[in-house]
Amino acid sequence: MRIILVGMPGSGKSTLGRTVAKRLNYGFFDLDTLIVQQEGMSIPDIFARYGEAHFREAERTALARTGFLQGAVIATGGGTPCFFDNMDWMKSRGMVVWLDIAPAIIASRLTGSLKASQQRPLFAGKSKEEIIETLNSMHQQRQPFYRLAQIRVGEKEARPGLVLQKLKDLAG
């Protein structure tokens, strides 16, 4: 089985994904890490040098390369489901789990560490207020895509055991 995690930047996809993968004895793959390997430069450098359109193309290519993986948990970037036919592609190749975490909680996570916000091109150089504003806007734009996931996990359920139970319940 392939489990694909989607949600806002900072929602905990990578953190939760690593733990779920470990508990299932699956491989864990972070799409951003795959993009960095593929492009030979950091995400901020890709954005700065080539822009978001190039990044989204690279993201789509990296996502397609995960198509052969089995027994894998894949943490996507926050915007991955919103471009091209990525969400349809993911749903046809795995179980898509949406980590539905409120923008205010994400803002606290991102602004609690300078490193956390500066490593994300969409938040770099922004004040806490600007990050909150960006997250709220992004949440409204992306929510229709996230809602297409087979499983929705809210803030109180975003724990490995509960996610595994939801996957088990859905699988039947």
**Three-state helix/strand/coil letters over 20-76:** HHHHHCCEEEEHHHHHHHHHCCCHHHHHHHHCHHHHHHHHHHHHHHHHHCCCEEEEC
- Say how many domains are in the chain: 1
Beta bridge partner(s), residue 5: 75, 97
Tell me, what's the pLDDT at 122?
76
Q: What is the pLDDT of residues 133-162, one digit of tens each?
A: 999 999 999 999 999 999 999 988 888 888
Whether 124 is in a domain gets the answer: yes
Whether 170 is in a domain gets the answer: no
Tell me, what's the pLDDT at 101?
94
Task: Record the pTM.
Answer: 0.92
Tell me, what's the pLDDT at 172?
64
- Within the chain, which residues score under 50 in pLDDT? none
Tell me, what's the pLDDT at 166?
84
Whether 24 is in a domain gets the answer: yes
CATH number for 86: 3.40.50.300
Tell me, what's the pLDDT at 90?
98
Q: Which residues contact 36 (CB under 8 A, 6 or more apart)?
A: 42, 43
Q: Which domain holds residue 72?
A: 2-164
Residue 104's φ and ψ, nearest 5 degrees, are -65, -40
Query: In which element (H, E) is residue 154 found?
Result: strand 151-154
Whether 172 is in a domain gets the answer: no
Q: What is the pLDDT of residues 51-63, one digit of tens each?
A: 999 999 999 999 9
Query: In which element (H, E) is residue 106 found?
Result: helix 103-111
